[in-house]
Structure 1
C-alpha cells in the first residue's frame, strides 16, 4: 500500500535539486529566459522526444551520449529553438558548455522558441556564467522557460510507502501552442529523489506518455523540440515500482492538462471520451481525430453543440462504426442516440449550457465493443491566430 499526496512547492523542494531562472537578454521584454536544473549527485536520466523527423539540435546532442548516462546539469533557454540549424546547432551547444566554469557531467541543453535561428551564444554564456548553482528558485525556472504560455506550469507530490519511507516527484513544464499528439511543443522536466532503476524510468515514461502528453492537442501541429525528461538522483533510497508509475502518471497528467487549458487563447478544456469501440487502437484514432478537428474546435469556441461535426469526424476517421449503435453526449446530455435525433430545443438548450463551462466531456459511445480511450483538446479562436501571426516578434 502507498499514498500519494499533492504538496506545495517547486523542484527545489526535492532533496538534492537546485534550480533558478534569470534574464539573459533573449527576450526583448527583459523577462526571464534562461534557467537550469542542477544536482550535486549525478542523476540517472531518461527522456522521450518528438516524433517530428526534424528533431532540434538539443535532442540530437542528448542522443549522442551513451545509453543510461548520468548528468548533473540541464540548461534551458526560451525564445530560440535551435532547430533546423544543422551541425552548427550541436556545435553551438558544445561551445556553450565548454565556456562554463562549472564541474559539469554530461550536461544537457533544452531549447524552445523560434525555429531556424542560430543560438545567441554570447548572451547564453554570459547569463549561464552568472548562475548560482546552489540557488533554489523553481518559481524563477518555471517563468524562464515560458514562451506563449499564459502561466507557469508546475506540480509536486510526496509518495509515502508502506515501510515508512517516502520520496518526492515534481515537474516544471511549458507548452501552450503547436500541441499535437506525439508530444507537443512542450518541454517537461520531471525530478525525483526516488531510488528508481533506470530501466523502470524509461518504461514508466513511455507507458504514461500515451495517456497524457500523447493524448492532448491544441492545434494539430507537432514541434521539433518536444521533450519529456525524467531525472532521478535516488537520494531518498525509497522506491516502489507501482507507486512510482502512478505518481509519474499523476505528474504527467497534471502537466498535460495545464497545457490544454493554456492553449493559445483557449477558454475551454475538453475531454473526448470514446467508449465501446472494437479496439483500443480504434478508440484512440477517433479520440485524437476529435481533439484535432478544426471544425470541432471552432464549434467549442462558439459554444455550439453541433453534434454533426462530432459525428462527421468519427465517420471520417474510418474506424468501425454504425449510425445505429452510436451515442453522442455532452457530459450527460444525449444529443444523438442510435439513429434517433435527440437534438430538439430542450436538449440543445441543455447541451449549450454544458458548453458554456470551462471544462466538460464529449462522450462518444461507438456501441460495437468494449475498448476506450480519452484524448484532450481545447477550443480555437481569434487569439490563437493573433498570437501565431506575429510569433517571431
Structure 2
C-alpha cells in the first residue's frame, strides 16, 4: 500500500471539528495554565496510563467510568491532583459539573500535571473555564497550557493520502521531567479523523507506544499522571499500515521533543542496541543506558567513557559476552569484541561527536537478532537546580 505523509499546521486542531485553546487561570504568574480540547461530535477514545501504583485522580476517574467516547478534555498544569484520595475525584466531578453548565459535554475527561499531593483549586479552574472561547482553534495555546517545566511547546500534525482516501492526525504533548515511561509518559493528546475500527485503536496505540514513549527516559522516574489519549472523529479514510506509520511519526516526534527538552538537558542521545538474544533483552539494555546516572553524567561532560556503557550492559542481567560486545560513538568504534580501540586519536574523535546536541551510541551484543533503540539525555547541574526548587 502506497501512501504519502505530509506535515501540516494545526496540531490537534488540524482535524476538522476539533477545537482547542488555553487561558490563564492563575496557577502561573503569566502564560496559559488551563486548556481544553473539544469536538462537535463524540470521539472514540483509546488511552494508556501510567503503571505507577499511585495513579492520579484524573486517571482513576476515567478508569472508574470505563470511558470509551468523549467530546471534551479539560487539562490543567501546576497541580497533578495525585495522592488526593476520594476528594481528588470529587473535585473533578464538581469541576466537570460546572463545565456542563457552560457547554454540552459527553463523558468529559480531565487531565492534570504538576505538584503531587495538593488538592485542586476549584475556584481558579472555574474562573478559568469562564474565560474559554469554546469555538477557538488554537492548538498552540493548549500546548502551552499543559507545560510545567517544559521550555517549549510540543505539537505536530500530518495529512495522509493514499488509495484509501485521506485522513489527518495531530498531537500535542508535555513533559521534561519525571520521565521514565512505563506505558506512555507525561501528557499526550492525539486527534485524528481516520476511520479506525474501535477494536484496533487500543492495539495500535499500545504497539506504537512501545517504540516511542516507552523508549525514552529523562531521569528514571515514572509519573503518577502519565497519560496518552488517541481520539477519532471517523470522518476520514483509513488503512491500517498508513495509520500506524502516521501515528508512529506523531508519537516519535513528540517523544524525542521530550528528550530534547529534558530538564537541564544539553544532549539528546539515541542508544541503538542490536545483537541481543531477544527484543526484550535489547530493550532492557537500552533502557538501562538511558537511566544510568554514570552514563548520563559522562554525556554531560562529553566524556567518551565507554567503560560506563560496558558496565551498564553487564549489569543489565541479559545474556552478553565481552568478547562479542561492540561499542561505537556514531561511526567511531571504541571497543570491538574484546579489543580496546581507544587510543588518543580515537578518544579525540569520540569526544568531538559528543559535543553535538544529538548523536547515537551503538551497542552490539553479538548474541542474537534482538534490537531496540532507547532515547535519553544527559544529567546537568540545571536538572538538580530545577527539581530542588520545583515547588518554589
TM-score, normalising length: structure 2? 0.98
Q: How far did residue 184 of structure 1 move? A: 5.8
1:69-100 residue CA offsets vs partner (Å, 9 max, x unmatched): 21100000000000000000000000001112
Aligned: 1:204 with 2:204: yes
Residue ranges of structure 2 left out of the alignment (5+ in a row): none
Partners of 1:73 and 1:105 within 8 A in 2: yes
CA distance 1:378–1:183, shift in 2 (3 Å) = farther
Q: Find the counterpart in structure 2 of residue 306 from structure 1.
A: 305
User: What is the 5 A alignment of 1:1-393?
Assistant: 1-27=2-28, 29-66=29-66, 69-100=68-99, 101-163=102-164, 165-183=165-183, 185-236=185-236, 238-393=237-392
TM-score, normalising length: structure 1? 0.97
Counterpart Cα distance in 1 of 2:3 and 2:194: 14
Q: How far did residue 384 of structure 1 move? A: 0.3
- Give the paired residue count: 389
Q: How far did residue 316 of structure 1 move? A: 0.6
Partners of 1:184 and 1:222 within 8 A in 2: no
Q: How far did residue 129 of structure 1 move? A: 2.5
Q: How far did residue 30 of structure 1 move? A: 2.2
Q: How far did residue 375 of structure 1 move? A: 0.4
Q: How far did residue 181 of structure 1 move? A: 3.1
1:343-380 residue CA offsets vs partner (Å, 9 max, x unmatched): 10010011001101111111011011111111000001
Secondary structure of the structure 2 residue equivalent to 1:36: strand
Partners of 1:184 and 1:223 within 8 A in 2: no
Partners of 1:178 and 1:184 within 8 A in 2: no
Q: How far did residue 214 of structure 1 move? A: 0.5
RMSD, matched Cα? 1.0
Partners of 2:185 and 2:214 within 8 A in 1: no
Residue ranges of structure 1 left out of the alignment (5+ in a row): none
Comparing 195-204 with 145-154, which one deviates more in the overlay?
195-204
1:283-341 residue CA offsets vs partner (Å, 9 max, x unmatched): 11101000110000000000000000000000011111111111100001000011111
Counterpart Cα distance in 2 of 1:89 and 1:312: 44
1:249-282 residue CA offsets vs partner (Å, 9 max, x unmatched): 1111011000000000101110011111111111
Q: How far did residue 113 of structure 1 move? A: 0.2
Secondary structure of the structure 2 residue equivalent to 1:309: helix
Partners of 1:177 and 1:185 within 8 A in 2: no
